[in-house]
Structure 1
Protein backbone atom coordinates (compact mmCIF):
# COMPACT_ATOMS: atom_id res chain seq x y z
CA UNK A 1 0.00 0.00 0.00
CA UNK A 2 1.05 3.56 -0.71
CA UNK A 3 -0.23 6.89 0.66
CA UNK A 4 -1.81 7.58 -2.74
CA UNK A 5 -4.07 4.53 -2.30
CA UNK A 6 -6.44 6.62 -0.18
CA UNK A 7 -7.18 8.80 -3.22
CA UNK A 8 -10.19 8.24 -5.49
CA UNK A 9 -8.73 10.28 -8.34
CA UNK A 10 -10.86 10.36 -11.50
CA UNK A 11 -13.48 8.01 -10.10
CA UNK A 12 -17.06 9.10 -10.75
CA UNK A 13 -19.52 9.16 -7.87
CA UNK A 14 -23.26 9.64 -7.55
CA UNK A 15 -24.51 10.99 -4.21
CA UNK A 16 -28.27 10.92 -3.73
CA UNK A 17 -29.53 13.68 -1.49
CA UNK A 18 -26.18 15.33 -2.05
CA UNK A 19 -27.28 18.94 -1.72
CA UNK A 20 -27.47 19.11 2.07
CA UNK A 21 -26.25 17.60 5.31
CA UNK A 22 -24.47 14.25 5.20
CA UNK A 23 -24.79 14.02 1.41
CA UNK A 24 -23.14 17.39 0.91
CA UNK A 25 -20.33 16.46 3.30
CA UNK A 26 -19.70 13.19 1.46
CA UNK A 27 -19.85 14.80 -1.98
CA UNK A 28 -17.33 17.51 -1.08
CA UNK A 29 -14.98 15.08 0.67
CA UNK A 30 -15.01 12.72 -2.31
CA UNK A 31 -14.17 15.66 -4.54
CA UNK A 32 -11.29 16.75 -2.28
CA UNK A 33 -9.83 13.26 -2.68
CA UNK A 34 -10.11 13.36 -6.47
CA UNK A 35 -13.58 12.18 -7.49
CA UNK A 36 -15.95 13.75 -9.98
CA UNK A 37 -19.44 13.89 -8.48
CA UNK A 38 -23.04 13.85 -9.65
CA UNK A 39 -25.53 15.29 -7.18
CA UNK A 40 -29.07 13.87 -7.26
CA UNK A 41 -31.41 16.07 -5.26
CA UNK A 42 -34.77 17.81 -5.41
CA UNK A 43 -33.22 20.96 -3.88
CA UNK A 44 -31.81 22.42 -7.09
CA UNK A 45 -30.77 25.78 -5.59
CA UNK A 46 -28.59 24.18 -2.93
CA UNK A 47 -27.49 21.52 -5.39
CA UNK A 48 -26.07 24.19 -7.71
CA UNK A 49 -24.08 25.59 -4.79
CA UNK A 50 -22.57 22.18 -4.04
CA UNK A 51 -21.74 21.71 -7.73
CA UNK A 52 -19.95 25.09 -7.74
CA UNK A 53 -18.01 24.13 -4.61
CA UNK A 54 -16.90 20.86 -6.22
CA UNK A 55 -15.82 22.66 -9.37
CA UNK A 56 -13.86 25.13 -7.24
CA UNK A 57 -11.90 22.12 -5.99
CA UNK A 58 -10.90 21.38 -9.58
CA UNK A 59 -13.23 18.43 -10.08
CA UNK A 60 -16.11 17.92 -12.51
CA UNK A 61 -19.62 18.05 -11.11
CA UNK A 62 -23.17 17.58 -12.32
CA UNK A 63 -26.55 18.32 -10.76
CA UNK A 64 -29.39 16.02 -11.81
CA UNK A 65 -32.65 17.31 -10.28
CA UNK A 66 -34.25 14.17 -8.87
CA UNK A 67 -37.16 13.29 -6.64
CA UNK A 68 -35.61 10.20 -5.11
CA UNK A 69 -39.01 8.87 -4.06
CA UNK A 70 -39.68 8.33 -7.79
CA UNK A 71 -37.87 5.23 -9.09
CA UNK A 72 -38.24 6.36 -12.70
CA UNK A 73 -36.42 9.59 -11.94
CA UNK A 74 -33.69 7.66 -10.12
CA UNK A 75 -33.04 5.35 -13.07
CA UNK A 76 -32.97 8.32 -15.44
CA UNK A 77 -30.57 10.14 -13.11
CA UNK A 78 -28.12 7.22 -13.08
CA UNK A 79 -28.25 7.03 -16.87
CA UNK A 80 -27.62 10.77 -17.18
CA UNK A 81 -24.72 10.76 -14.72
CA UNK A 82 -22.99 7.74 -16.23
CA UNK A 83 -23.50 9.10 -19.73
CA UNK A 84 -22.24 12.57 -18.83
CA UNK A 85 -19.01 11.35 -17.22
CA UNK A 86 -18.56 8.22 -19.33
CA UNK A 87 -18.29 5.91 -16.33
CA UNK A 88 -19.59 5.21 -12.83
CA UNK A 89 -17.48 3.95 -9.94
CA UNK A 90 -19.16 4.99 -6.68
CA UNK A 91 -22.77 5.18 -5.55
CA UNK A 92 -23.68 6.75 -2.22
CA UNK A 93 -27.28 6.00 -1.28
CA UNK A 94 -27.71 8.87 1.13
CA UNK A 95 -31.20 10.26 0.52
CA UNK A 96 -33.69 9.68 3.32
CA UNK A 97 -35.76 11.34 5.95
CA UNK A 98 -37.98 10.83 8.97
CA UNK A 99 -40.51 12.55 11.16
CA UNK A 100 -41.04 11.63 14.79
CA UNK A 101 -44.46 10.02 15.15
CA UNK A 102 -46.00 7.58 17.59
CA UNK A 103 -46.61 4.46 15.47
CA UNK A 104 -50.21 4.09 16.66
CA UNK A 105 -50.92 7.55 15.25
CA UNK A 106 -48.94 7.19 12.02
CA UNK A 107 -50.88 6.96 8.76
CA UNK A 108 -50.38 4.36 6.06
CA UNK A 109 -49.54 7.18 3.68
CA UNK A 110 -46.68 8.15 5.99
CA UNK A 111 -45.47 4.53 6.11
CA UNK A 112 -45.31 4.39 2.33
CA UNK A 113 -43.57 7.76 2.03
CA UNK A 114 -40.91 6.63 4.53
CA UNK A 115 -40.43 3.33 2.70
CA UNK A 116 -40.25 4.93 -0.75
CA UNK A 117 -37.74 7.57 0.30
CA UNK A 118 -35.53 5.53 2.63
CA UNK A 119 -35.66 2.03 1.18
CA UNK A 120 -37.13 1.83 -2.32
CA UNK A 121 -34.94 4.70 -3.53
CA UNK A 122 -31.88 2.68 -2.50
CA UNK A 123 -33.12 -0.41 -4.34
CA UNK A 124 -33.65 1.53 -7.58
CA UNK A 125 -30.35 3.41 -7.41
CA UNK A 126 -28.40 0.27 -6.54
CA UNK A 127 -29.86 -1.77 -9.38
CA UNK A 128 -29.33 0.93 -12.00
CA UNK A 129 -25.84 1.83 -10.76
CA UNK A 130 -24.67 -1.77 -10.40
CA UNK A 131 -25.70 -2.42 -14.00
CA UNK A 132 -23.70 0.63 -15.11
CA UNK A 133 -20.67 -0.49 -13.09
CA UNK A 134 -20.85 -4.00 -14.54
CA UNK A 135 -21.08 -2.58 -18.06
CA UNK A 136 -17.97 -0.49 -17.35
CA UNK A 137 -16.02 -3.58 -16.32
CA UNK A 138 -14.03 -1.85 -13.54
CA UNK A 139 -16.07 -2.88 -10.52
CA UNK A 140 -17.17 -0.23 -8.07
CA UNK A 141 -18.27 0.73 -4.59
CA UNK A 142 -21.77 1.16 -3.18
CA UNK A 143 -22.15 2.91 0.17
CA UNK A 144 -25.53 2.95 1.88
CA UNK A 145 -26.08 5.61 4.52
CA UNK A 146 -28.09 3.80 7.18
CA UNK A 147 -28.43 4.97 10.78
CA UNK A 148 -27.77 3.90 14.32
CA UNK A 149 -31.58 3.60 14.46
CA UNK A 150 -31.30 0.58 12.17
CA UNK A 151 -29.23 -1.20 14.82
CA UNK A 152 -31.30 -0.45 17.93
CA UNK A 153 -34.85 0.38 19.01
CA UNK A 154 -36.10 3.81 17.96
CA UNK A 155 -39.34 4.86 19.70
CA UNK A 156 -41.15 7.42 17.58
CA UNK A 157 -39.27 6.38 14.44
CA UNK A 158 -40.51 2.82 13.96
CA UNK A 159 -40.93 2.83 10.17
CA UNK A 160 -37.75 4.83 9.57
CA UNK A 161 -35.75 2.43 11.76
CA UNK A 162 -37.25 -0.57 9.96
CA UNK A 163 -36.17 0.91 6.63
CA UNK A 164 -32.62 1.43 7.91
CA UNK A 165 -32.49 -2.10 9.29
CA UNK A 166 -33.60 -3.32 5.87
CA UNK A 167 -30.85 -1.25 4.28
CA UNK A 168 -28.27 -2.95 6.50
CA UNK A 169 -29.55 -6.42 5.60
CA UNK A 170 -29.65 -5.50 1.91
CA UNK A 171 -26.02 -4.35 2.15
CA UNK A 172 -24.87 -7.79 3.26
CA UNK A 173 -26.80 -9.58 0.52
CA UNK A 174 -25.61 -7.24 -2.22
CA UNK A 175 -22.02 -7.69 -1.08
CA UNK A 176 -22.40 -11.37 -1.99
CA UNK A 177 -24.46 -10.99 -5.17
CA UNK A 178 -22.19 -8.30 -6.64
CA UNK A 179 -18.84 -9.69 -5.50
CA UNK A 180 -18.29 -11.55 -8.79
CA UNK A 181 -18.38 -8.16 -10.51
CA UNK A 182 -15.78 -6.63 -8.14
CA UNK A 183 -18.43 -4.35 -6.66
CA UNK A 184 -18.00 -3.85 -2.92
CA UNK A 185 -20.99 -2.84 -0.80
CA UNK A 186 -21.06 -1.13 2.60
CA UNK A 187 -23.36 0.63 5.02
CA UNK A 188 -22.53 3.48 7.38
CA UNK A 189 -24.59 4.00 10.53
CA UNK A 190 -24.16 7.56 11.83
CA UNK A 191 -25.73 8.85 15.01
CA UNK A 192 -25.64 12.43 16.31
CA UNK A 193 -24.25 14.84 13.71
CA UNK A 194 -24.35 18.57 13.14
CA UNK A 195 -26.61 19.06 10.11
CA UNK A 196 -28.96 21.87 9.04
CA UNK A 197 -31.93 19.66 9.88
CA UNK A 198 -30.75 18.83 13.39
CA UNK A 199 -29.20 22.17 14.32
CA UNK A 200 -32.48 23.71 15.59
CA UNK A 201 -32.87 20.72 17.94
CA UNK A 202 -29.38 21.24 19.33
CA UNK A 203 -29.91 25.01 19.62
CA UNK A 204 -33.07 24.45 21.66
CA UNK A 205 -31.33 22.28 24.24
CA UNK A 206 -30.84 23.71 27.71
CA UNK A 207 -27.28 23.75 29.13
CA UNK A 208 -28.17 20.72 31.24
CA UNK A 209 -29.56 18.83 28.25
CA UNK A 210 -26.49 19.66 26.16
CA UNK A 211 -24.18 18.45 28.92
CA UNK A 212 -26.16 15.21 29.28
CA UNK A 213 -26.03 14.71 25.50
CA UNK A 214 -22.28 15.12 25.41
CA UNK A 215 -21.91 12.61 28.27
CA UNK A 216 -24.03 10.17 26.28
CA UNK A 217 -21.54 10.37 23.38
CA UNK A 218 -18.36 8.51 24.42
CA UNK A 219 -16.10 10.84 22.41
CA UNK A 220 -17.90 13.77 24.02
CA UNK A 221 -19.03 15.78 21.00
CA UNK A 222 -21.34 15.87 18.02
CA UNK A 223 -20.03 14.58 14.71
CA UNK A 224 -19.33 16.52 11.53
CA UNK A 225 -20.64 15.53 8.12
CA UNK A 226 -17.06 15.60 6.81
CA UNK A 227 -16.27 12.77 9.24
CA UNK A 228 -18.83 10.62 7.48
CA UNK A 229 -17.30 11.72 4.19
CA UNK A 230 -13.83 10.63 5.26
CA UNK A 231 -15.06 7.10 5.98
CA UNK A 232 -16.83 7.01 2.61
CA UNK A 233 -13.57 8.00 0.89
CA UNK A 234 -11.71 5.22 2.72
CA UNK A 235 -14.28 2.61 1.68
CA UNK A 236 -14.19 3.74 -1.96
CA UNK A 237 -10.39 3.75 -2.06
CA UNK A 238 -7.87 0.97 -2.59
CA UNK A 239 -7.15 1.12 1.14
CA UNK A 240 -10.39 -0.84 1.68
CA UNK A 241 -9.91 -3.26 -1.22
CA UNK A 242 -10.38 -6.35 0.99
CA UNK A 243 -13.54 -5.11 2.72
CA UNK A 244 -17.15 -5.66 1.72
CA UNK A 245 -20.50 -6.39 3.33
CA UNK A 246 -19.84 -4.54 6.58
CA UNK A 247 -21.81 -1.87 8.42
CA UNK A 248 -19.65 0.70 10.20
CA UNK A 249 -21.22 2.65 13.08
CA UNK A 250 -19.68 6.09 12.59
CA UNK A 251 -21.15 7.28 15.86
CA UNK A 252 -18.39 8.24 18.32
CA UNK A 253 -19.15 5.05 20.26
CA UNK A 254 -22.85 5.51 21.05
CA UNK A 255 -23.82 2.04 19.83
CA UNK A 256 -21.03 0.48 21.87
CA UNK A 257 -22.04 2.39 25.02
CA UNK A 258 -25.52 0.75 25.14
CA UNK A 259 -26.74 2.75 28.12
CA UNK A 260 -23.39 3.52 29.73
CA UNK A 261 -23.01 7.25 30.39
CA UNK A 262 -19.94 9.23 31.37
CA UNK A 263 -20.28 10.78 34.84
CA UNK A 264 -19.47 14.45 35.31
CA UNK A 265 -17.12 13.36 38.10
CA UNK A 266 -15.36 10.84 35.85
CA UNK A 267 -15.90 7.17 35.10
CA UNK A 268 -19.05 5.51 33.73
CA UNK A 269 -22.42 4.35 35.02
CA UNK A 270 -25.41 2.59 33.50
CA UNK A 271 -28.50 4.70 32.77
CA UNK A 272 -27.34 7.71 34.75
CA UNK A 273 -28.85 11.15 34.15
Structure 2
Protein backbone atom coordinates (compact mmCIF):
# COMPACT_ATOMS: atom_id res chain seq x y z
CA UNK A 1 0.00 0.00 0.00
CA UNK A 2 2.53 2.53 -1.22
CA UNK A 3 1.10 6.04 -1.73
CA UNK A 4 4.38 7.75 -2.64
CA UNK A 5 3.94 10.36 -5.35
CA UNK A 6 0.28 10.84 -4.51
CA UNK A 7 -1.29 14.00 -3.05
CA UNK A 8 -4.25 13.96 -0.66
CA UNK A 9 -6.61 16.91 -0.09
CA UNK A 10 -8.36 16.72 3.30
CA UNK A 11 -11.12 19.03 4.48
CA UNK A 12 -11.19 19.54 8.24
CA UNK A 13 -7.73 18.02 8.58
CA UNK A 14 -6.57 20.15 11.50
CA UNK A 15 -7.83 17.79 14.18
CA UNK A 16 -9.83 14.71 15.07
CA UNK A 17 -10.62 12.20 12.35
CA UNK A 18 -9.22 14.49 9.65
CA UNK A 19 -5.88 14.66 11.43
CA UNK A 20 -5.84 10.90 11.81
CA UNK A 21 -6.49 10.45 8.09
CA UNK A 22 -3.79 12.97 7.20
CA UNK A 23 -1.14 11.27 9.34
CA UNK A 24 -2.10 7.78 8.18
CA UNK A 25 -1.87 8.77 4.51
CA UNK A 26 1.45 10.52 5.14
CA UNK A 27 2.91 7.44 6.85
CA UNK A 28 2.23 5.49 3.67
CA UNK A 29 3.92 8.08 1.48
CA UNK A 30 1.31 10.65 0.44
CA UNK A 31 1.86 14.41 0.50
CA UNK A 32 -0.97 16.23 2.23
CA UNK A 33 -3.09 19.35 1.77
CA UNK A 34 -5.12 20.42 4.80
CA UNK A 35 -8.09 22.73 4.20
CA UNK A 36 -9.36 23.97 7.56
CA UNK A 37 -10.31 27.18 9.35
CA UNK A 38 -8.15 26.34 12.40
CA UNK A 39 -4.78 27.89 11.53
CA UNK A 40 -3.07 26.93 14.79
CA UNK A 41 -3.85 23.23 14.62
CA UNK A 42 -3.56 23.17 10.85
CA UNK A 43 0.05 24.34 11.19
CA UNK A 44 0.63 21.77 13.96
CA UNK A 45 -0.63 18.87 11.83
CA UNK A 46 1.33 20.11 8.81
CA UNK A 47 4.45 20.11 10.97
CA UNK A 48 3.77 16.54 12.11
CA UNK A 49 3.42 15.47 8.48
CA UNK A 50 6.74 17.06 7.58
CA UNK A 51 8.37 15.20 10.47
CA UNK A 52 7.22 12.01 8.71
CA UNK A 53 9.21 13.11 5.68
CA UNK A 54 6.26 14.17 3.55
CA UNK A 55 5.33 17.56 2.11
CA UNK A 56 2.38 19.36 3.70
CA UNK A 57 0.42 22.43 2.70
CA UNK A 58 -2.06 24.10 5.04
CA UNK A 59 -4.68 26.36 3.45
CA UNK A 60 -6.92 28.41 5.73
CA UNK A 61 -10.39 27.54 4.47
CA UNK A 62 -13.92 28.06 5.74
CA UNK A 63 -15.56 25.00 4.18
CA UNK A 64 -19.04 26.50 4.55
CA UNK A 65 -18.10 28.88 1.72
CA UNK A 66 -17.97 27.17 -1.66
CA UNK A 67 -15.70 29.79 -3.19
CA UNK A 68 -13.10 29.22 -0.46
CA UNK A 69 -13.06 25.49 -1.14
CA UNK A 70 -12.68 26.10 -4.86
CA UNK A 71 -9.81 28.51 -4.23
CA UNK A 72 -8.10 26.04 -1.91
CA UNK A 73 -8.34 23.25 -4.50
CA UNK A 74 -6.91 25.55 -7.18
CA UNK A 75 -4.02 26.54 -4.88
CA UNK A 76 -3.30 22.92 -3.97
CA UNK A 77 -3.39 21.71 -7.58
CA UNK A 78 -1.12 24.56 -8.66
CA UNK A 79 1.35 23.84 -5.85
CA UNK A 80 1.60 20.07 -6.34
CA UNK A 81 0.59 19.76 -9.99
CA UNK A 82 -1.84 16.96 -9.15
CA UNK A 83 -4.46 15.72 -6.67
CA UNK A 84 -5.02 11.98 -6.24
CA UNK A 85 -6.99 11.55 -3.02
CA UNK A 86 -9.84 13.56 -1.53
CA UNK A 87 -11.06 13.01 2.03
CA UNK A 88 -14.29 14.89 2.67
CA UNK A 89 -13.99 14.96 6.43
CA UNK A 90 -15.22 18.42 7.48
CA UNK A 91 -18.46 18.35 9.44
CA UNK A 92 -20.04 18.91 12.79
CA UNK A 93 -23.17 18.54 14.87
CA UNK A 94 -24.99 19.96 17.85
CA UNK A 95 -27.69 17.95 19.61
CA UNK A 96 -31.09 19.65 19.34
CA UNK A 97 -34.64 18.26 19.20
CA UNK A 98 -35.80 18.93 15.64
CA UNK A 99 -39.00 20.76 16.63
CA UNK A 100 -36.88 23.28 18.54
CA UNK A 101 -34.19 23.63 15.88
CA UNK A 102 -34.02 26.92 13.95
CA UNK A 103 -33.80 27.33 10.20
CA UNK A 104 -30.37 28.90 10.73
CA UNK A 105 -29.25 25.71 12.47
CA UNK A 106 -30.63 23.54 9.64
CA UNK A 107 -28.69 25.52 7.08
CA UNK A 108 -25.47 25.50 9.11
CA UNK A 109 -25.64 21.71 9.38
CA UNK A 110 -26.32 21.37 5.65
CA UNK A 111 -23.56 23.77 4.60
CA UNK A 112 -20.99 22.27 6.95
CA UNK A 113 -21.70 18.58 6.39
CA UNK A 114 -23.20 18.31 2.92
CA UNK A 115 -22.47 21.37 0.78
CA UNK A 116 -18.77 21.33 1.70
CA UNK A 117 -18.56 17.76 0.37
CA UNK A 118 -20.37 18.67 -2.86
CA UNK A 119 -18.05 21.62 -3.50
CA UNK A 120 -14.82 19.76 -2.74
CA UNK A 121 -15.87 16.73 -4.77
CA UNK A 122 -16.70 18.78 -7.84
CA UNK A 123 -13.51 20.82 -7.67
CA UNK A 124 -11.12 17.94 -6.92
CA UNK A 125 -12.78 15.49 -9.32
CA UNK A 126 -12.22 17.97 -12.16
CA UNK A 127 -8.52 18.17 -11.25
CA UNK A 128 -8.34 14.36 -11.20
CA UNK A 129 -10.05 14.12 -14.59
CA UNK A 130 -7.70 16.69 -16.13
CA UNK A 131 -4.72 14.75 -14.74
CA UNK A 132 -5.96 11.47 -16.30
CA UNK A 133 -4.53 9.40 -13.43
CA UNK A 134 -7.78 8.41 -11.74
CA UNK A 135 -8.11 8.93 -8.01
CA UNK A 136 -9.93 8.10 -4.81
CA UNK A 137 -12.60 10.07 -2.96
CA UNK A 138 -13.51 9.05 0.60
CA UNK A 139 -16.48 10.72 2.29
CA UNK A 140 -16.48 10.58 6.09
CA UNK A 141 -20.16 10.02 6.82
CA UNK A 142 -21.41 8.55 10.09
CA UNK A 143 -23.26 5.59 11.54
CA UNK A 144 -26.04 8.16 12.10
CA UNK A 145 -26.54 8.13 8.33
CA UNK A 146 -27.47 4.44 8.58
CA UNK A 147 -29.83 4.52 11.56
CA UNK A 148 -32.21 6.77 13.46
CA UNK A 149 -30.63 9.62 15.41
CA UNK A 150 -33.10 11.41 17.71
CA UNK A 151 -31.78 14.85 18.58
CA UNK A 152 -29.50 14.77 15.53
CA UNK A 153 -32.09 14.52 12.76
CA UNK A 154 -30.69 17.15 10.38
CA UNK A 155 -27.13 15.94 10.88
CA UNK A 156 -28.21 12.34 10.22
CA UNK A 157 -30.07 13.44 7.08
CA UNK A 158 -26.87 15.12 5.84
CA UNK A 159 -24.85 11.98 6.50
CA UNK A 160 -27.45 9.81 4.77
CA UNK A 161 -27.22 12.23 1.85
CA UNK A 162 -23.43 11.78 1.80
CA UNK A 163 -23.88 8.02 1.56
CA UNK A 164 -26.37 8.31 -1.31
CA UNK A 165 -24.11 10.83 -3.08
CA UNK A 166 -21.21 8.40 -2.72
CA UNK A 167 -23.05 5.71 -4.68
CA UNK A 168 -24.08 8.15 -7.43
CA UNK A 169 -20.55 9.53 -7.78
CA UNK A 170 -19.11 6.02 -7.92
CA UNK A 171 -21.10 5.54 -11.13
CA UNK A 172 -20.58 9.02 -12.60
CA UNK A 173 -16.82 8.99 -12.08
CA UNK A 174 -16.07 5.33 -12.83
CA UNK A 175 -15.20 6.02 -16.48
CA UNK A 176 -12.48 8.40 -15.26
CA UNK A 177 -10.89 5.79 -13.00
CA UNK A 178 -12.05 7.63 -9.86
CA UNK A 179 -13.16 5.41 -6.99
CA UNK A 180 -15.66 6.84 -4.49
CA UNK A 181 -16.39 5.45 -1.03
CA UNK A 182 -17.92 6.47 2.28
CA UNK A 183 -16.93 5.54 5.81
CA UNK A 184 -19.51 5.45 8.58
CA UNK A 185 -17.66 5.73 11.90
CA UNK A 186 -19.48 5.51 15.20
CA UNK A 187 -17.72 6.07 18.54
CA UNK A 188 -14.22 7.21 17.59
CA UNK A 189 -12.06 8.62 20.41
CA UNK A 190 -11.11 12.02 19.01
CA UNK A 191 -9.56 14.82 21.04
CA UNK A 192 -12.86 16.68 21.01
CA UNK A 193 -14.90 13.71 22.25
CA UNK A 194 -12.37 12.34 24.75
CA UNK A 195 -13.64 14.53 27.65
CA UNK A 196 -17.17 13.23 27.02
CA UNK A 197 -16.02 9.61 27.02
CA UNK A 198 -13.81 10.18 30.08
CA UNK A 199 -16.78 11.63 31.95
CA UNK A 200 -19.03 8.68 31.14
CA UNK A 201 -20.18 6.78 34.18
CA UNK A 202 -19.91 3.08 34.87
CA UNK A 203 -23.42 2.43 33.59
CA UNK A 204 -22.74 4.21 30.29
CA UNK A 205 -19.50 2.33 29.74
CA UNK A 206 -21.22 -0.96 30.51
CA UNK A 207 -24.00 -0.15 28.05
CA UNK A 208 -21.41 0.68 25.37
CA UNK A 209 -19.73 -2.67 25.93
CA UNK A 210 -23.09 -4.42 25.57
CA UNK A 211 -23.88 -2.83 22.21
CA UNK A 212 -20.44 -2.64 20.55
CA UNK A 213 -19.26 -6.19 19.78
CA UNK A 214 -15.57 -5.24 20.01
CA UNK A 215 -16.31 -3.64 23.42
CA UNK A 216 -14.27 -0.46 23.01
CA UNK A 217 -14.03 2.92 21.32
CA UNK A 218 -12.33 3.21 17.95
CA UNK A 219 -9.03 5.03 17.44
CA UNK A 220 -8.63 7.65 14.72
CA UNK A 221 -5.69 5.67 13.35
CA UNK A 222 -7.99 2.70 12.76
CA UNK A 223 -10.25 4.82 10.59
CA UNK A 224 -7.23 6.36 8.88
CA UNK A 225 -5.96 2.90 8.01
CA UNK A 226 -9.18 2.16 6.11
CA UNK A 227 -8.71 5.39 4.13
CA UNK A 228 -5.16 4.29 3.27
CA UNK A 229 -6.42 0.92 2.03
CA UNK A 230 -9.13 2.50 -0.13
CA UNK A 231 -6.63 4.98 -1.61
CA UNK A 232 -4.14 2.24 -2.46
CA UNK A 233 -3.89 -0.21 -5.32
CA UNK A 234 -5.13 -2.91 -2.92
CA UNK A 235 -8.67 -1.55 -3.43
CA UNK A 236 -8.47 -1.27 -7.21
CA UNK A 237 -11.69 -3.25 -7.85
CA UNK A 238 -13.79 -1.50 -5.21
CA UNK A 239 -16.03 1.54 -5.61
CA UNK A 240 -19.32 2.78 -4.19
CA UNK A 241 -18.86 1.17 -0.78
CA UNK A 242 -20.06 2.49 2.56
CA UNK A 243 -17.96 0.89 5.29
CA UNK A 244 -19.04 1.12 8.95
CA UNK A 245 -15.91 1.64 11.04
CA UNK A 246 -17.74 1.03 14.28
CA UNK A 247 -16.55 -2.08 16.09
CA UNK A 248 -19.63 -3.91 14.82
CA UNK A 249 -22.21 -1.48 16.24
CA UNK A 250 -24.36 -1.34 13.09
CA UNK A 251 -24.20 -5.12 12.72
CA UNK A 252 -25.41 -5.56 16.31
CA UNK A 253 -28.44 -3.31 15.74
CA UNK A 254 -31.03 -4.29 18.35
CA UNK A 255 -28.82 -6.98 19.86
CA UNK A 256 -26.97 -6.51 23.12
CA UNK A 257 -24.65 -8.62 25.24
CA UNK A 258 -26.15 -9.71 28.55
CA UNK A 259 -24.24 -8.37 31.58
CA UNK A 260 -25.18 -11.58 33.39
CA UNK A 261 -23.87 -14.33 31.14
CA UNK A 262 -22.40 -12.55 28.07
CA UNK A 263 -24.97 -14.04 25.69
CA UNK A 264 -26.39 -11.95 22.85
CA UNK A 265 -30.08 -11.09 23.21
CA UNK A 266 -32.49 -9.16 20.99
CA UNK A 267 -33.97 -5.94 22.43
CA UNK A 268 -33.10 -6.63 26.06
CA UNK A 269 -30.07 -6.84 28.31
TM range (shorter): over 0.9
Please state if 1:269 is matched with 2:269.
no
Which runs of at least 4 in structure 1 moved beyond 6 Å after TM superposition? none
- Residue in structure 1 matching 2:160, options 159, 165, 174: 165
Please state if 1:36 is matched with 2:31.
yes
Deviations 1:78-127 (A, max 9, x none): 11111111110000000000000000000000000000000000000000
Which runs of structure 2 are paired with 1:176-191 in the superposition (5 Å)?
A: 176-191=171-186
- Residue in structure 2 matching 1:86, options 54, 60, 81: 81
1:35 is displaced (CA, Å) by 0.2
Which runs of structure 2 are paired with 1:81-230 in the superposition (5 Å)?
A: 81-230=76-225
Please state if 1:65 is matched with 2:60.
yes
Q: Specify the alignment match of 1:3 in structure 2.
A: none
What is the DSSP-based 3-state SS (H/G/I as helix, E as strand, rest coil) of the residue aligned with 1:255? coil
1:270 is displaced (CA, Å) by 2.1
1:203 is displaced (CA, Å) by 1.7
Q: Take 1:271 and 1:99, find their aligned partners in 2: how far apart are those partners?
A: 28
State whether residues 214 and 222 of structure 1, in contact with CA within 8 Å, keep that contact through their aligned partners in structure 2: no
Show structure 2 runs of 5+ residues with no match: none
Normalized against structure 2, the TM-score is what?
0.98
Show structure 1 runs of 5+ residues with no match: 1-5
State whether residues 93 and 125 of structure 1, in contact with CA within 8 Å, keep that contact through their aligned partners in structure 2: yes
Q: Take 1:183 and 1:223, find their aligned partners in 2: how far apart are those partners?
A: 28
RMSD: 0.8
Q: Take 1:199 and 1:57, find their aligned partners in 2: how far apart are those partners?
A: 25
Q: Specify the alignment match of 2:228 in structure 1.
A: 233
State whether residues 68 and 74 of structure 1, in contact with CA within 8 Å, keep that contact through their aligned partners in structure 2: yes
1:216 is displaced (CA, Å) by 1.4
Q: Take 2:49 and 2:192, find their aligned partners in 1: how far apart are those partners?
A: 22
Deviations 1:225-253 (A, max 9, x none): 00110000000000000000110111110
What is the DSSP-based 3-state SS (H/G/I as helix, E as strand, rest coil) of the residue aligned with 1:186? strand
